[in-house]
Every structure is written in C-alpha cells, then in structure tokens.
C-alpha cells in the first residue's frame, strides 16, 4: 500500500490518497498519516480511496475515528471520503450512519468544490506569487494588520506578523523563488501559510536555529511537500493566561 499526503494551501485542506490492499500494516501507516494531517489544524481532510481495495470493510473504524478526531479540533474540521458509491466500504459507512458526521463524495473534484465553498472568502486573504524580494515583508505585514482589524483579532496581529516575517525571511534565504502567502481566520486563531517553489523542507525537529520565531510563537507549525514546491504553515493563538 502507498500513501500520499498533500497540503492544499489555497483553502487550508489536507488530502490523503490511499492506494493498494488494506492490511494491518496499512492501518498503522494511515493512522500516522492522519495524525500528521490533523496536526496541521486543517479546515478539512479529503481522503481519496479510489485505488484502495478493502473488500471486508476493515478500514471503516479508522475513517470513523478520523472524523471524530477532526470534530474535536478548534475549529472542527470536516472529513470527506471519496470513493465510488458501489464500493462495499461506502455502503458499510452509510449503514453505520456515518453520513451524519462524514461527507461522502464520488470523486475528489466534488469534495474539493464542497470544501472550498464551505470556507467563506472573507475568512481567507492571500498575496499571490510575490517576487523573492524584501518588499514582500511589508506586503505581508500590511495584509496581517488588515486581517487583524477585519476579523476582530488585533491582539494576534503582532505575533502573527513576527511569525510571518520569519517565514518570509526563511524562504528568501533558502528558496529564493516567488512566494504565495495565505492568512485564514480560525475562530480566535490565525492560520498562516507560505508557499514557494523550492521542494526542500525545513528541518522540523531541529528548527530553533532556522525558524526561531515560528518555533517560539506558534501554537503548532509544520511543512508539507507539494508537486511543485512546498508550504510552511503556522497557527497563532491567543496566549493562555
């Protein structure tokens, strides 16, 4: 079995593609991938099962558990399963009443359209493909200030600007490509993501020297490889008193 976990920065969703025959080893690998995806605090997880074989429906419990875990996030995330409606697994999930808390789609394009439509445009601001220049810092700074005022979270703007500056400077130093910057509102939190065209990920476990502000001031952060680059993201939350 093979797994592919990708991050769609434009709407802060995670996509998991599962291929091959379902086995006990598959369950452990999928669980790990789902934990990684949920750690990114996405708005939705799209799970593509078109090329997975599970005639006995043994994978059903893990998709149910993923939906329940996604609902515990703040804000809750949606889980969308994509598979032909004639599959035994889809029929089994419907029999278990999973359609009440899990979205079932025939294909990934349907799921993407539904997920994108569920996130209001006003909850997402974006600077598209800025040149790799220091001027990008001022643009990102102004965008976050605007978001803080528009969304009623001005107290987060300062921390978010510091984190964003670290993200931009890291991209300028190590990638040197055009950058796409996104900020999303997640209730009282801000989700920041910087996408560039260099596929090399930052060292996630030894990051203090390279991304010290992101490490120190983010509630959670991470990086995902894309087919034409990468995205480094962070969630900034109010300080706990």
Residue 125 pairs in a beta bridge with 183
Has residue 49 been placed in a domain?
A: yes
Has residue 241 been placed in a domain?
A: no
Q: What are phi and psi of 201, to 5 degrees?
A: -80, 150
Q: Tell me the residue range of the domain where 208 lies.
A: 123-236
The 10 Å Cβ neighbour count of residue 96 is 15
pLDDT of 221 higher than 70: yes
CATH code at 101? 3.30.750.24
Q: Are 22 and 58 spatial neighbours (Cβ–Cβ below 8 Å)? A: yes
pLDDT of 54 higher than 90: yes
Q: Which of 118, 135, 161 is the last residue of a domain?
A: 118
pLDDT of 9 higher than 60: no
According to the model, what pLDDT value does residue 72 have? Answer: 85
**102 and 176 share a domain?**
no
pLDDT of 71 higher than 80: yes
**131 and 174 share a domain?**
yes
**81 and 166 share a domain?**
no
Confidence of residue 240 (pLDDT cuts 50, 70, 90): low
Q: In what order do the strands lie in the sheet with 44-53?
A: 2-8, 13-21, 44-53, 78-82, 103-105
With CA atoms as reference, report the closest residue to 62 among 35, 97, 100: 35
Has residue 65 been placed in a domain?
A: yes
CATH code at 128? 3.30.565.10
Is cis: bond before 224, omega within 30 of 0?
no
Residues 6+ apart with CB under 8 A from 142: none
107-142 core/surface letters (b: 16 or more CB in 10 A; e: else):
ebeebbeebbeebeeebbbbbeebebeeebbeebbe
Residue 46 exposed, middle or buried by CB count within 10 Å (0-12, 13-18, 19+): buried
Number of helices followed by number of strands (H, E) in the chain: 7, 10
Q: Does 76 or 41 have the greater pLDDT score?
A: 76
**7 and 106 share a domain?**
yes
Q: Does 220 or 171 have the greater pLDDT score?
A: 171
Question: Residues 82-139: pLDDT tens digits?
Answer: 999 999 999 999 999 998 889 999 999 999 888 766 666 667 788 989 999 999 999 9
Q: Which of 90, 118, 146 is the last residue of a domain?
A: 118
With CA atoms as reference, report the closest residue to 114 among 195, 28, 13: 13
**93 and 190 share a domain?**
no
**131 and 112 share a domain?**
no
According to the model, what pLDDT value does residue 220 have? Answer: 84
According to the model, what pLDDT value does residue 118 have? Answer: 63
Largest pairwise CA distance in the chain:
56
Has residue 85 been placed in a domain?
A: yes
**102 and 173 share a domain?**
no
Has residue 94 been placed in a domain?
A: yes
Confidence of residue 208 (pLDDT cuts 50, 70, 90): low
Domain count, the chain: 2
**21 and 105 share a domain?**
yes
Residue 67, both tokens: 């939906």
**112 and 175 share a domain?**
no
Q: Are 187 and 136 spatial neighbours (Cβ–Cβ below 8 Å)? A: no
């Amino acid at each position: 079995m093979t797994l592919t976990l990708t991050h769609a920065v434009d709407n802060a969703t995670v996509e998991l593609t599962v291929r091959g025959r379902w086995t006990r080893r598959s369950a452990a690998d999928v669980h790990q991938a789902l934990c990684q995806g949920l750690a990114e605090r996405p708005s939705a997880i799209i799970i593509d099962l078109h090329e997975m074989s599970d005639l006995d429906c043994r994978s059903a419990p893990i998709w149910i558990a993923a939906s329940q875990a996604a609902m515990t996030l703040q804000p809750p995330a949606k889980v969308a399963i994509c598979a032909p409606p004639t599959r035994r697994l889809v029929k089994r999930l419907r029999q278990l009443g999973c359609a009440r808390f899990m979205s079932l789609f025939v294909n990934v394009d349907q799921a993407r359209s539904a997920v994108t439509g569920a996130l209001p445009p006003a909850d997402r601001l974006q600077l598209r493909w800025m040149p790799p220049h220091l001027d990008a810092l001022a643009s990102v700074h102004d965008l976050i200030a605007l978001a803080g005022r528009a969304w009623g979270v001005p107290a987060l703007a300062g921390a978010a600007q510091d984190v964003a500056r670290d993200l931009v400077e890291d991209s300028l130093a190590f990638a040197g490509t055009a950058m796409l910057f996104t900020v999303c509102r997640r209730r009282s939190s801000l989700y920041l993501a910087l996408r560039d065209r260099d596929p090399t990920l930052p060292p996630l476990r030894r990051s203090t020297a390279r991304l010290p502000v992101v490490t120190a001031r983010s509630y959670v952060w991470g990086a995902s490889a894309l087919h034409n680059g990468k995205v480094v993201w962070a969630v900034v939350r109010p300080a706990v008193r």
